[in-house]
Structure 1
C-alpha cells in the first residue's frame, strides 16, 4: 500500500524550507510512530554537497523528534533504503538524481520499498522520479543517466513547478505547455503540471491533489484540462 507525498516544490516563496509540507508530514510520522527519516540528497540543487543539503533538511526538522540521516552516510545505500522508516528525496537536478540512483542500482530498490508502504516524500526532482520516466523535467542535462526510466510508482509523469503562460511576457522561448505538447508528439503518457504549493497525496489506490491550486493535465492528442483539489489522478492510469 503506497503512502506518499509528491510535491511540486519544497518551498513556497517567502516561507521557510519545507514549512508548508511539515504539518502533513509530521501527521503521518505521528500516526506511524516514525522517528527516523532517510534523506536522499543526490539531486544537489545549485551543486551543493550532500552534507550541506542534508543539514538543510535537519534544520527543517530541528524542532521535532525526527532524526534525519543522509543516504550518503551509509556504506550500503540499498540497505539504508530497505531499513528506512521513511524516505525523503529532495529537489535539485533530476538528471543528477536519476544518474546516481541508476549508478548505485537504487531505482528498483526504492520502487519496491514504496510498494511495501514505507512513507515517501518527494519534492521537485524527488517527485519527478515517481513517474514512469524523467522526460518531463525542466532541468538542464548536465550529466547523462544510463536510463531515463524512474520508479513508476504512479502511472503518469510529473512536470514540477508548472508555470502558466504570461501574456505580458516578451520572452520568446517555449512555454511549459508547448514543451509538453512536444513530448506528446513522441510519447503517450499523461503529464500532470503541478503548480507551486500543490502536492499529490497518495494513499493506497488514491492519488489526490492537495493544496490551493488546480493542476493541469495533458494527454496525447487532447486539449489540456484543469482539475480541482481532491481530484484522483489514479483515473489517468486506467
Structure 2
C-alpha cells in the first residue's frame, strides 16, 4: 500500500492567520514525528523558503532541507516523509525532474507525501490543472500520480460582481475536460485532501468536484471521497 498523502490547497489560511495555522493538527497527525525532507524548488530562494516553512511549522516537526543534500535524489529515495512546498508548478516539476527527485519519489511509494499548492499539483497524474504561468519548460507534464485524479488548488468561485472578462476557474476546468478524462477536485482555500490507505476524506473547507460531461458537485468537510482512488 503506498504511503499516505496529504494535499493542501494553500499554506496561508484565509483571514491573515499564521502560515499553516489551519492545518497544524492534520499535519502533526500525518507526519507523525518522522523526519520530513522539504522540497523547496517551486521558489527561487530555497534557503529562505525552508527557513520560512520551518518557522511556521515549529520545532515539533523535524524539517530538513533537501536542496542542501549532496545527492537529493538518493536522499528522497530513502525518505520516510516529504513535504513539497508551493510556488510555481512549472519550476518545481522542471527541477525535480532535472535533479532526479521525481524518479526518486516514484521509486519510494511508501514515503509519506505532503504537498501544498504546487506540491499538491505534483501529486496528481499531471500538472495540467495548475494555475501557474509556464515560466520554464518542465520537460513534460506527467507528475507523480500519488492520487489518480487531478486537483486545482486555490479554487475560486465565479464572482458575479467582478469586471474580469477572462475565463472563470470553472470554465478552465471545463476546457481541461474537453481534452482529458480525469476528475478534478477544486480545493478552496483552507481545504485539504487526506488519504490513508484506501480512504480519502476532505478536510478544512469545502471543495467542488468536476467530472467530464457532468454537473459540478459541492463537497462538504468530512466527505468520504474514497471512490476517487479507483480510476474509472
Structure 2 length normalisation: TM-score? 0.93
**2:72 is the counterpart of 1:77:** yes
Shift of 1:76: 0.6
Residues 214 and 29 (structure 1 numbering): CA distance in 2 closer, same or farther, change over 3 Å?
closer
Q: Secondary structure at the match of 2:25?
A: helix
Q: How far apart, CA to CA, are the structure 2 residues paired with 1:50 and 1:23?
A: 26
Mapping of 1:93-108 within 5 angstroms?
93-108=88-103
Q: How far apart, CA to CA, are the structure 1 residues paired with 2:183 and 2:193?
A: 15
Partner of 1:232: 224
Partner of 1:26: 28
Shift of 1:179: 0.4
Match of 2:113 among 108, 120, 133: 120
Residues 146 and 224 (structure 1 numbering): CA distance in 2 closer, same or farther, change over 3 Å?
same
Partner of 2:172: 179
Q: How far apart, CA to CA, are the structure 2 residues paired with 1:12 and 1:145?
A: 28
Match of 1:145 among 138, 143, 158: 138
Is contact 2:20–2:57 with CA below 8 Å preserved after alignment?
no
**2:59 is the counterpart of 1:67:** no
Q: Secondary structure at the match of 1:78?
A: helix
Is contact 1:102–1:147 with CA below 8 Å preserved after alignment?
no
Give the paired residue count.
228
Q: Secondary structure at the match of 1:21?
A: helix
Q: How far apart, CA to CA, are the structure 2 residues paired with 1:204 and 1:70?
A: 27
Is contact 2:209–2:219 with CA below 8 Å preserved after alignment?
yes
Q: How far apart, CA to CA, are the structure 2 residues paired with 1:121 and 1:187?
A: 25
Structure 1 length normalisation: TM-score? 0.90
Q: How far apart, CA to CA, are the structure 1 residues paired with 2:131 and 2:148?
A: 19
Partner of 1:156: 149
RMSD (CA atoms)? 1.5
Unaligned runs of 5+ in 1: none
Partner of 2:4: 3
Unaligned runs of 5+ in 2: none
* Alignment deviations for residues 82-111 of structure 1 (CA, whole Å, 9 cap, x no partner): 232321001000000011111122223213
Match of 1:55 among 51, 66, 79: 51
* Alignment deviations for residues 33-75 of structure 1 (CA, whole Å, 9 cap, x no partner): 42x221000000xx4x1000011112123342x3322111011
